[in-house]
Amino acid sequence: MTNTLVVEKAKTSKIQDVDFDNLSFGSVYSDHMLVCDYRNGKWEAPKVVPYQPLSLDPSAKIFHYGQSIFEGMKAYKDEAGDAWLFRPLENFKRLNKSAKRLAIPELPEEYFMEGLTTLLQLDKDWIPQNPGSSLYIRPFMFASGTGFHASPADEYKFIICTAPSGAYFSGKVKVLIEENYSRAANGGVGYAKAGGNYAGQFYPTQLAIEKGYNQVIWTDDNSHEYIEEAGAMNVFVRINDTLITGPTSDRILDGITRKSILDIANEEGIATEVRKISVHEVVEAAKTGELKEMFGAGTAAVISPISAFGYKDTDYDLPELQNSYASLLKKRITDIQYNRVADTFGWRYKV
C-alpha cells in the first residue's frame, strides 16, 4: 500500500498556538488526519490530509440509523523523543469486531497500521513529552452513504484524528451503582465500541452527577445484581488480596487495558479471578472491611481509583492504601507505554 498512500501536508501548522503545559482531554486537534472511503464495494486508498471539517449529505445514514464505531488509542514519547504505541493491533482487531456487528465493512490491516504510522510520523511534534501527557488517537468509522431506507449504507468513511492531551482524570472518583438503567443487554452491541452505547449512558450518568457522584457502575440488564462496567471503563474489585473483574460477554467491552492488567497482575503474583461479581458481595465486603479497592480501567485514564460507591441511598468509603494494586498496576503499564522499562510482553510498537 506504500505507493498508494497520498499525503497532503497542511500549508501552516497550528502547533505554535498550543499550550502543551495546560492540555485538557481531547479538545485540541493536530494538523492532519487520515481519511479512507468505502465505495463501490471496496475500501479506497487512505489519504493523510490537513485536519478539516467534513461535508455530508443530510440523508447520510449515520444521522438516521447510527452506524458509527470508534477506537481510543494513545501515542507516547519517551525521554529520547521516540514515539510509541501500546498494543495497536488489539485496537485494529476490536475495530473490525465492532464493524462486523454493525454491518460496516471491515478494514484491511495495512490501511489501519500504515495509515496510522504515516499520520503519526507527520505529526510527531504533536506528541507531548510532559509527564502523564500523550497524543490521544481516535480512529472511527461511520455510514456516509445516503438514503432514508432502514438498511446498511453503501458508502462509509474511516478517519483517524489525533489530539494532544494531558492526564484524563485527576483524583479519585465517587460512583453510584445503577439499579434501574442498563448500558447493554444480552444479544446486543455492548461489546462493540458503537457510538450509540455511549449516547445511552449520558442520561443515567447525568442523574448520578446530580446526586453528587462522578460516574455510574453499570449492572446487568436482567436483575441488576451483578457489576459490569464503571462508566465507559472496565471495572476491577479487590477483596482482601484478590483482584476480580467480570468476564467479557456480548454486554462487556473487551478492554485492552483490562487484558494488560490481568497479565501484569499474574506476573506480579497477585491473585486474580475473572467471574461475575454481585453487588451484594461488594456491599458485604465493604461492611466487613474486606473491600480494599475498586477502580476503572481504560485507555484514557489507564486506571481510575474509586474512593467511594453509593447503593440504595447508602455510601460506602474505600480505605486509603499506601501500596495499592491500582498504583502498582498503573505504574507497570505506563512504564511500558513510555519506554521506561523493558517490554517483556511485546506490547510496545515503535512509530
The residue ranges of every structural domain in the chain are: 2-165, 173-337
pLDDT value at 1 more than 70? no
What is the rounded CA–CA span in Å between residue 197 and residue 205? Answer: 13
Q: What is the pLDDT of residue 328?
A: 97
Sign of the CA dihedral running 314, 303, 130, 10 = negative
For residue 71, give the C-alpha cell.
477506537
What is the rounded CA–CA span in Å between residue 138 and residue 19? Answer: 21
Alpha helices, DSSP H only, in the chain? Answer: 62-65, 88-101, 109-122, 195-210, 256-267, 279-288, 325-337
What is the rounded CA–CA span in Å between residue 331 and residue 161? Answer: 27
For residue 270, give the C-alpha cell.
497477585
DSSP 3-state of 15: helix
Quick count: other Cβ atoms within 10 Å of Cβ 280? 11
Give the least confident one: 46-60, 168-182, 188-202, 217-231.
168-182
Sign of the CA dihedral running 12, 13, 16, 18 = positive
pLDDT value at 18 more than 60? yes
- Helix, strand, coil percent values for the chain (each to nearest 5): 25, 30, 45
- Domain topology for 2-165: D-amino Acid Aminotransferase; Chain A, domain 1 (3.30.470)
**Contacts (Cβ under 8 Å, ≥6 apart) of 83:** 75, 76, 77, 120, 124, 127, 350, 351
In this prediction, residue 3 has a pLDDT band, given cuts at 50, 70 and 90, of low
Among residues of the chain, what percentage have pLDDT more than 90?
93
Write down the CATH superfamily of domain 173-337. D-amino Acid Aminotransferase, subunit A, domain 2 (3.20.10.10)
What is the rounded CA–CA span in Å between residue 44 and residue 258? Answer: 34
Computed over every residue of the chain, the mean pLDDT equals 95
Q: What is the pLDDT of residue 131?
A: 84
Query: pLDDT per residue over 239-298, tens digit each?
Result: 999 999 999 999 999 999 999 999 999 999 999 999 999 999 999 999 999 999 999 999
Q: Which amino acid is at 97?
A: K
Q: What is the pLDDT of residue 25?
A: 87
What is the rounded CA–CA span in Å between residue 13 and residue 91? Answer: 28
Task: State mean pLDDT over 43-72.
Answer: 98
Alpha helices, DSSP H only, in 25-108? Answer: 62-65, 88-101
Q: What is the pLDDT of residue 229?
A: 94
Give the least confident one: 14-23, 151-160, 170-179, 210-219.
170-179
What is the rounded CA–CA span in Å between residue 231 and residue 234? Answer: 8
Kind of pairing, strands 226-230 and 277-278?
antiparallel
Q: What is the pLDDT of residue 234?
A: 96
pLDDT value at 170 more than 80? no
Give the least confident one: 32-36, 71-75, 229-233.
229-233
pTM for the model: 0.96
Q: What is the DSSP string of 128-175?
A: --STT-EEEEEEEEEE--B-SSSS--S-EEEEEEEEEE--S--S-EEE
Residue 232 or 346, more confident: 346
